[in-house]
A and B are shown apart, each in its own frame.
Chain A
Amino acid sequence: MTNQIVLPDVEALAARVADGAKVAVFKDGAVPMDLGRALVRKGVRGLHVVTVPTSGLLADMLIGAGCVATIETSGVTMSEFGQAPCFGRAVKSSSLKIMDATCPAVYTGLQAAEKGVPFIPMRGLIGSDILANRPDFKTIDNPYDADGGDDPIVAIPAIRPDVSLIHAPLADAFGNVWIGRQAELKIMAHASAESLITCERLYEGNLLEDPHLAPAVIPSMYVGGIAVAERGGWPLGLTGEYDDDPDAILAYIQAAATPEGFQDWLAEHVFGSGAADARVPAQAAE
C-alpha cells in the first residue's frame, strides 16, 4: 500500500497531467523543471497555469512549447536576468489568454480553496485595471462596516487547481513531502486536488515522525504521486540544496529570444540529452 505513490520516473508523473488541466506552479526555489520538461515531451496542451504567485523559466518554457492556453499570474519574469521571452511573444500575438492578478490575490484565492469556502475578501485592488479586467473578482460591501455599509472590498474567488507541481528536497515512501522553508507550498498543495512531487532523494522512514521535519511536511493525503529527480530543478535552484545555474538561464533567454532559437533549445535540453549532460558537473550549494 505504501509503494504505489512513488512512481518510476518523471514521465509517469507527467502522464497524470491531462490536457486542459488547471496547474499551479510556485515562483522559485521549488520549481520542478524536470517534470516541466517531461510535460513538454508528452505534448500536453491547453493548460491553465496558475503561478503562485509568479513564475519564470517553467511558465515561459511551457508557453513557448505550446502547452498553455491560459495563464493566471501576478508576474512572469526572469528576475535579474530580464523579461520572459516566450511569455512576451505569446501575449503580443494573442495566442495566450492572460488573467493578470496581484500576488496576495493568488494566495487569497488558494486560501479560500484550502478552506473549502467560495471566496475570501482582500484589501486593495479597487481602481486598478487588474480588477477592471477580472470579472471573476467582485467588489462587495463589508457587512461588518461600523458605519453601516460604505466600505467596498474585493471578494477573491477560490482557486482550485487540478494539480500542483512541486520540486522538494525529500519525500518518503508513505507519500509525505518535506518542503523546507517554502511554507507557501502548503497552501498551494492544500488548494489543489492533488500534488505531483519530484524530489531530490527519498527519506528512510516516515517524515511525520521527526518533530523537526514534520511542521514542513505536506502530508500524503494531498499527494498524487512522487518521482525522484536528482537536480530536478536545474537550471533553477532548490532552496537549501543548490543555487540557480545563471549561465544556463542566460543561455535559455538568449536562445528563446527567437522562436527558432527556442526550438533549438528544446531540441537540445528537453528532447535531447543536453539537460542531463549540463548538470553532471556538480554545482553543489556552498
Chain B
Amino acid sequence: MSGYRSEELLISVISRLLADCGHIAVGVSSPIPGSAALLTQATSDRPVRVSVIGAETPEFRTDGGVDLFDSAGQGRIDAFFLSGGQIDGEANINLVGIGDYPEMKVRWSGSFGSAHLYFMVPKVILFREEHTTRTMVDKVDFISAPGWSPDNVHRPGGPYGLVTNLCLFMFDRPNRRFRLESLHPGVTLEEVQDNTGFNFEIPEVVPETQAPDQAKLELLRSTVAQKIADPYPKFAERVWGVKAAA
C-alpha cells in the first residue's frame, strides 16, 4: 500500500499543472482543486493568490460574484477549474443534463459560469473523478461550454488538462483532442481505453503519474489541510482529520 491517499495523488497532479500561475480561482464544491491551488501556493517561490468562491476567509475573497467574471474578462485570473456530467473528446463540457434538450432524461443544475470562464481563463483544468464511458463520452448531449472555438472568436482561454481518478490527459488545442499524459499508479492503458468514450492520442511511452513526495505530503497534511478547512470543512475532516478553526 502506498503512503498517500488517492485525494493526495489527485491534488499533487493538479498542483503540478498550476506551476506558473499567479492567481488561481476555485469555484464551488471543488475541495480537491482548492487543495491543489493551496499546495501550489505553499510550494511556489513567487506569491500566488488563491481565490475561493463563497469562502469567508478574507484572503480567499474576491470583490463578489460579478467581480470574479469581470476580473476573468480582464485576464486577472490565470487558472480555473471546471467539471462536467459529461466531457467529450473535443473538451466540450455538459453541466445541463442527459437526453434531448430541454425535456431531458436527467436534468442537472445548469451551466453556472462555464460559458464565460472557459473562454477567458488561460488555463482551465477539467477535473472529474469518475472516469467511465458515462462521463467521458464521444459527444456531449448539451454543450454548456465548447472546448475550442473558430479562429475569429476571441478566446484567450480554454482547456489545459483533464484529471480523473485514472489518468491525466493534456488537451492539444491545435488538434482539438486529448493526449494521454500519464497513468495513475496501478492503472493500465486498457483500463483507460475501456472506460473512455472518446478517442485520444496515445504516445509510444505512457509514464506513470508522479506520486507526491514526502515534503509535499507534509505540506498537504499541515498547511493545506488547515487552510482548506474554511471553505471545505467536511473534506478536511474526512481526508486529514482536521477541524476548521472556530
Q: A75 to B109, alpha carbons, bound, how many Å?
A: 5
In the complex, chain B residues 101-144 whose Cβ is within 8 Å of any chain A Cβ: 101-120, 142-144
In the complex, chain A residues 105-128 whose Cβ is within 8 Å of any chain B Cβ: 105, 107, 122-128
In the complex, chain A residues 79-119 whose Cβ is within 8 Å of any chain B Cβ: 79-80, 83-84, 87-88, 91-94, 98, 100-105, 107
Is there an interface contact between B152 and A124, defined as CB atoms closer than 8 Å? no
Is there an interface contact between A75 and B69, defined as CB atoms closer than 8 Å? no
CB distance from A190 to the nearest CB of B (A): 13
Known: A124-B119, A128-B145, A151-B154. A83 touches B108 (CB 8 A): yes
Known: A102-B115, A105-B115, A123-B119. A84 touches B109 (CB 8 A): yes
Is there an interface contact between A123 and B73, defined as CB atoms closer than 8 Å? yes
Cβ-closest chain A residue relative to B54: A28
Closest 8 pairs between A and B when the two form their complex, measured CB to CB: A75-B110, A124-B116, A104-B69, A102-B115, A77-B109, A127-B146, A103-B113, A124-B119
CB distance from B234 to the nearest CB of A (A): 8
Chain A window 61-87, contacts with chain B (Cβ cutoff 8 Å), 1 for yes, 0 for no = 000000000000111110110011001
CB distance from A15 to the nearest CB of B (A): 31
- Residues from chain A with Cβ under 8 Å of B117 in the complex: 124
CB pairs A–B below 8 angstroms (28 shown): A53-B65, A54-B109, A54-B110, A75-B112, A76-B110, A83-B108, A83-B109, A88-B106, A92-B104, A101-B111, A102-B144, A104-B69, A105-B116, A107-B65, A107-B69, A123-B116, A123-B119, A124-B118, A126-B146, A126-B149, A129-B143, A129-B144, A131-B115, A132-B143, A150-B152, A152-B153, A153-B154, A183-B66
Decide if B63 is an interface residue (CB 8 Å cutoff).
Answer: yes
Is there an interface contact between A103 and B104, defined as CB atoms closer than 8 Å? no
- Residues of A bordering B, CB below 8 Å: 27, 53-54, 73-77, 79-80, 83-84, 87-88, 91-94, 98, 100-105, 107, 122-133, 150-153, 181-184, 187, 286
Is there an interface contact between A122 and B116, defined as CB atoms closer than 8 Å? yes
Is there an interface contact between A183 and B64, defined as CB atoms closer than 8 Å? yes
CB distance from B170 to the nearest CB of A (A): 21
Decide if B205 is an interface residue (CB 8 Å cutoff).
Answer: no
Is there an interface contact between B114 and A91, defined as CB atoms closer than 8 Å? no
Is there an interface contact between A102 and B112, defined as CB atoms closer than 8 Å? yes
Q: A83 to B85, alpha carbons, bound, how many Å?
A: 13
In the complex, chain B residues 60-117 whose Cβ is within 8 Å of any chain A Cβ: 63-66, 69, 73, 95-97, 101-117
Known: A74-B111, A123-B120. A98 touches B66 (CB 8 A): no
Is there an interface contact between B107 and A92, defined as CB atoms closer than 8 Å? yes
- Residues of B bordering A, CB below 8 Å: 28-29, 63-66, 69, 73, 95-97, 101-120, 142-146, 149-150, 152-154, 234, 246
Q: A101 to B144, alpha carbons, bound, how many Å?
A: 9
- Residues from chain B with Cβ under 8 Å of A104 in the complex: 66, 69, 73, 113, 116
CB distance from A31 to the nearest CB of B (A): 14
Known: A87-B107, A91-B102, A92-B105. A126 touches B153 (CB 8 A): yes
Is there an interface contact between B115 and A187, defined as CB atoms closer than 8 Å? no
Cβ-closest chain A residue relative to B96: A100
Is there an interface contact between B111 and A286, defined as CB atoms closer than 8 Å? no
CB distance from B122 to the nearest CB of A (A): 14
- Residues from chain B with Cβ under 8 Å of A152 in the complex: 152-153
- Name the one of A76, A93, A123 contacting B154, with C-beta atoms under 8 angstroms: A123
- Name the one of A76, A98, A102 contacting B113, with C-beta atoms under 8 angstroms: A102
- Name the one of A75, A84, A91, A184 contacting B66, with C-beta atoms under 8 angstroms: A184
CB distance from A251 to the nearest CB of B (A): 18
CB distance from A172 to the nearest CB of B (A): 24
- Residues from chain B with Cβ under 8 Å of A153 in the complex: 154
Is there an interface contact between A102 and B114, defined as CB atoms closer than 8 Å? yes
CB distance from B35 to the nearest CB of A (A): 16
Known: A123-B73, A183-B64. A74 touches B119 (CB 8 A): no
Q: A14 to B63, alpha carbons, bound, how many Å?
A: 32
- Residues from chain A with Cβ under 8 Å of B111 in the complex: 74-75, 100-102, 128, 130
Known: A83-B108, A130-B144, A152-B152. A184 touches B116 (CB 8 A): no
Is there an interface contact between A103 and B116, defined as CB atoms closer than 8 Å? yes
- Residues from chain A with Cβ under 8 Å of B103 in the complex: 91-94
Cβ-closest chain A residue relative to B70: A104
- Residues from chain A with Cβ under 8 Å of B101 in the complex: 129, 133
